[in-house]
Amino acid sequence: MLMPSLSDDQESRQCFLAGLVVRSLSISTSNWRCAETLGDYLAERNIMGIYDIDTRVITRRLRQDGSLIGVLSTERTKTDEELLEMSRSWDIVGVDLISGVSCKAPHDWVDKTNTEWEFNSSKRGGEAFRVIAYDFGIKHNILKRLASYGCKITVVPSTWPASETLKMKPDGVLFSNGPGDPSAVPYAVETVKEIIGKVPAFGICMGHQLLGLALGGKTFKMKFGHHGGNHPVRNLCSGHVEISAQNHNYAVDSSSLPEGVEVTHVNLNDGSCAGLAYPAQNIMSIQYHPEASPGPHDSDYAFREFIQLMKKVKVNSRVMAALSFI
């Protein structure tokens, strides 16, 4: 199996994968963009992989018992009991996985969606909006879509103080996707609390969950999470059904949300909260990935709605400023 050019497909500054399990490892390919073998790709990054595994058996076990902890090891001296003990000693619950994948310093982002792949040119032109994007493990294509909509973006670390963000006078703040348990990063929840209500906010995946917590709601660990590119989501505002890409193990408990917070999207597989809005504080969020293209572009409108939200707030502030001089 060969890997395509990383300049086209890599979604982060590095591969944060801990391990890879596949059933059948192909030794040939027909993709003209392939640049290296999968084995070489993993070896260069010191990532463990294993193949010839019956992944359907694993899938059936996970469906029955929920997410489980497993161990990959090359240490032949370890007994089965020792390997089992290793798996019992680790748990995703309560672990801060964000700090290990976030950037270390603020930086500007300017790359847009490549013209070869761009599918919507109607958004070009018009006013540019200044967006601060919190990196909780952000995917590059989220930044590319915002840039393609004309945003001027500064990416900041997960620990970046809210006070510093507000000093930068952004038109909006993006709280990005990221791995793990949202309740394990109280510092991020506090940052979100300090920002919402002051500038428009858009949360994606982990950002959606952090907004839910910051607004007073609760999150919970799902039995086996949502993973893959074929999850149907109903937009309750439009009635449309989107085919979405999802990758998360936690969800917002919609029954815990305070009055005024609206559930805007629902996962049709299990009825879980897939989006929320709080108009009074100019907040919107979705649990899935609008930058991914399983639909192929069912959810890209979310970026447009964020632009419209920032524009509305900016226009209203100008009107209020003008009225103050009358």
CB of 307 closer than 8 Å to CB of 149: yes
Residue with tokens 């890409």: 245
How many Å apart are CA 13 and CA 296, to the nearest integer? Answer: 25
Ranges of beta strands (E only) in 254-319 are: 262-267, 273-278, 283-286
* Selected catalytic residue, list 208, 226, 231, 289: 289
Active site includes 205?
A: yes
Q: How many CB atoms lie within 10 A of CB 42?
A: 17
Q: Which of 103, 205, 231, 273 is catalytic?
A: 205
Spell out where 54-207 has E strands: 107-109, 130-134, 152-156, 172-175, 201-204
Q: Is 289 marked active-site?
A: yes
Active site residue 75: no
Question: What is the residue type of 52?
Answer: D
How far apart, in whole angstroms, are the C-alpha atoms of residue 288 and residue 299?
Answer: 9
Q: Cα(131)–Cα(49) distance, rounded to whole angstroms?
A: 38
Distance CA 99, CA 219 (A): 20
**Hey, which residues are catalytic here?**
205, 289, 291
